[in-house]
Structure 1
């Protein structure tokens, strides 16, 4: 009898736990009900995210947040989220969605769920005119820099471990793109890796006339939107949103506004969909 009682109790507990999980509200419902969408965005990474002359958030990612909020009938709330804090901000529920040019990796996908790519950062080596760097392989003996927690940083650290460190290369991580640009300008480092579109925007600004491109980097740096790992309803909706931005031509419109008139980067790798 005691055994039967224990079995019934265990079954009841499991049923309650399952029912609680099944009834957990998706962020999608919360956003629609509250009419607020909290987007985590890096505002130190122009032209994806920055502050305009009036100190208001602007950029490619900011526009995507506003488009998403409009589609949900909600007000966009921009939450400034530095690169190292992107995943923690989502996991700790300080934001509803992460729109911060975040590369979807298997390691990150253990913690959050990603849509298909909504942006494609074609990476290039950027250096100064006086460094003698003409291509990616020239970096193996140079002072390199990048932003902490980013894919370019991971690539450089892998190259150092594989042999570049023995050739004299060093790496310094910075808290933001702006800091890495300043370090490159001041000669503290010799090269960084940035998106071709970002380099175009920097060139147009005239702020860094000594910066030049020095060949392509062997790095596929797609950016995906991230939501809570177990929120399948919101993930399904966000994936449809990304698809609609593409087929409607909105992505092309936003890309041209912030990155210029260059070719629109594909959202597939060698014809393979995410």
Structure 2
């Protein structure tokens, strides 16, 4: 190969690299100014985790998370565009720029903090082991040989996996609704779920069919951004702080969970 050919190949390679960079997902830090310029904030949200995330009679996203997302957009003077996500795909949707933020009942964990940047907590969820009333399950040690359902890649999946002894049969489902149905139909003996999901199940079955067996964990939930978006993080934290102090988040929490917003660190 001649020097000219080598140089031409190198230039072509550089050109291809530039082209690929041009068409790659935007990697630069996004700011509130960028969002205001665009006129909307795109927010990923679970719609299968009532009362945090659900759908209304018009099949539109609803629930505590939806109201928080709308309040955030109102504070910034932009339109809220809510994109339904699932437990497994919510972080990938954020990292591939399909959404600007996640208000998706995302519990703060050390592993997730390696992937995303978390705001101050805006909500909390208590995760319990929920099973048949009268069954001999009083703690994690009693799960050996028990079929336990969880929503895949969820906080309850992590909590059950960590607590369960060897010999526990953990069955993973696509979402809480599927895990809920598995419990009701007898496919599993118990499920790891939030107290709000447990309350939903209790409404669908005869009284005293199931009960909270023990608490797995109480998790703070936060708004998530891509790493390195420090200006966006500052503004989201200011939103959370302001609306915690003025009681707006507590009003929404009471509206959907019929209890006060827990004290969050």
Q: TM over 0.5, yes or no?
A: yes
> Mapping of 1:2-13 within 5 angstroms?
none
User: What's the TM-score, normalizing by structure 1?
Assistant: 0.80
**Are 2:151 and 2:176, in contact at CA under 8 Å, matched by a contact in 1?**
yes
Q: Does 1:70 align with 2:67?
A: no
Q: What's 1:126 paired with?
A: 130
Alignment of 1:162-241 (within 5 A): 164-165=165-166, 168-203=167-202, 206-209=203-206, 210-217=209-216, 219-241=217-239
Deviation, structure 1 residue 25: 5.8
Contact 1:43–1:57, Cα closer than 8 Å, also in 2 = yes
Q: How far apart, CA to CA, are the structure 2 residues paired with 1:142 and 1:51? A: 33
TM-score for both structures, normalised by structure 2: 0.82
Q: What is the root-mean-square deviation in Å for CA atoms of aligned residues? A: 1.9
Give 2:244's aligned residue.
Answer: 246
| Pair 1:140 & 2:144 matched | yes
After superposing on structure 2, the runs of 4+ consecutive aligned residues of structure 1 that deviate more than 4 Å are 134-137
Q: Residue 43 of structure 1: CA displacement?
A: 0.6
1:72-122 superposed Cα distances (whole Å, 9 cap, x missing partner):
111110101101011111110000000111122222222211111111112
SS of 1:30 mapped into structure 2: helix
- In the TM superposition, what is the alpha-carbon distance from 1:264 to its structure 2 partner? 3.4
The secondary structure found in structure 1 opposite 2:104 is strand
Residues 137-171 of structure 1 deviation map (CA, whole Å, 9 limit, x = unaligned): 433331111111112212222334xxx22xx3210
Aligned with residue 154 of structure 1, among 151, 158, 166? 158
* Structure 2: segments with no counterpart, 5+ residues: 1-27
Verify the 8 A CA contact 1:123 1:194 in the aligned structure 2.
yes
Structure 1, 182-191 or 149-158: larger mean CA deviation: 149-158
Secondary structure of 2:204's counterpart equals coil
Residues 265 and 194 (structure 1 numbering): CA distance in 2 closer, same or farther, change over 3 Å? Answer: farther
